[in-house]
Amino acid sequence: MSKKKVLVTGGAGFIGGNFVQYMVNKYPEYDIYNLDLLTYAGDLTKHREIENKENYHFVKADIADRNTILPLFEKEQFDYVVHFAAESHVDRSITEPEIFVRTNVLGTQVLLDAAKQIGIKKFLHVSTDEVYGELDFDPTTFFTEETPLQPNSPYSASKASSDLLVRAYHETFGLPINITRCSNNYGPYHFPEKLIPLTISRVLNDQKVPVYGNGGNIRDWLHVHDHCAAIDLVLHQGEVGEIYNVGGHNERTNLEVVKTIIKALGKSEDLIEFVQDRLGHDKRYAIDPTKLEKLGWKPTYTFETGIAQTIQWYLDHKDWWERIISGEYKKYFEKQYSLSKE
Position 107 contacts ligand NAD (CB under 6 A)? yes
Among residues 55 and 103, whose Cβ is nearest to ligand NAD? Answer: 103
Stretches 62-70, 207-215, 233-241, 259-267: which one binds ligand DAU (CB under 6 A)? 207-215
Known catalytic membership, residue 129 = yes
Torsion angles phi and psi, residue 338, rounded to 5:
-125, 100
Rounded CA separation 126/163 (Å): 9
> With CB under 6 A as the contact rule, which of the stretches 17-25, 51-59, 212-220, 227-235 interacts with ligand DAU?
212-220
Alpha carbons 85 and 68: distance in angstroms, whole number: 16
Please check whether residue 128 is in contact with residue 182, taking contact to mean a CB–CB distance below 8 angstroms: yes
- Helices marked H in the chain: 14-26, 66-76, 90-95, 97-100, 107-118, 154-173, 195-204, 224-237, 254-264, 290-295, 303-316, 318-325, 328-336
Catalytic residue selected from 87, 129, 193, 282: 129
The span of 40-48, 52-60, 125-133, 313-321 binding ligand DAU (CB under 6 A) equals 125-133
**Of the residues 285, 314, 329, 333, which one makes contact with ligand DAU according to CB under 6 A:** 285
193 binds ligand NAD (CB under 6 A): no
Under the binding rule (CB under 6 A), the answer on residue 130 touching ligand DAU is yes
Q: Is 161 a binder of ligand NAD (CB under 6 A)?
A: no
Nearest residue to 321 (alpha-carbon basis) of 174, 158, 194, 139: 194
Q: Which amino acid is at 288?
A: D
Shortest approach of ligand DAU to residue 129 CB, angstroms? 5
Residue 130 falls in the annotated catalytic set: yes
Which parts of 56-95 interact with ligand NAD (CB under 6 A)? 62-64, 84-86, 88
Catalytic site residue from 43, 130, 163, 193: 130
**Pairwise CA distance, residues 17 & 148, whole Å:** 30
CB of 33 to ligand DAU, least distance (A): 23
Rounded CA separation 183/160 (Å)? 14
Does the footprint of ligand NAD cover residue 184 (CB under 6 A)? yes
Tell me which stretch binds ligand DAU (CB under 6 A): 71-79, 102-110, 128-136, 297-305: 128-136
Amino acid at 194: K
Output the CA–CA distances (angstroms, integers) from residue 276 to 5, 155, 210, 225, 340, in the order listed.
47, 20, 9, 33, 12
Residues with active-site annotation = 129-130, 155
Residues engaged in binding ligand DAU (CB under 6 A): 88-90, 128-130, 183-184, 194-195, 198, 210-212, 217, 219, 254, 278, 285
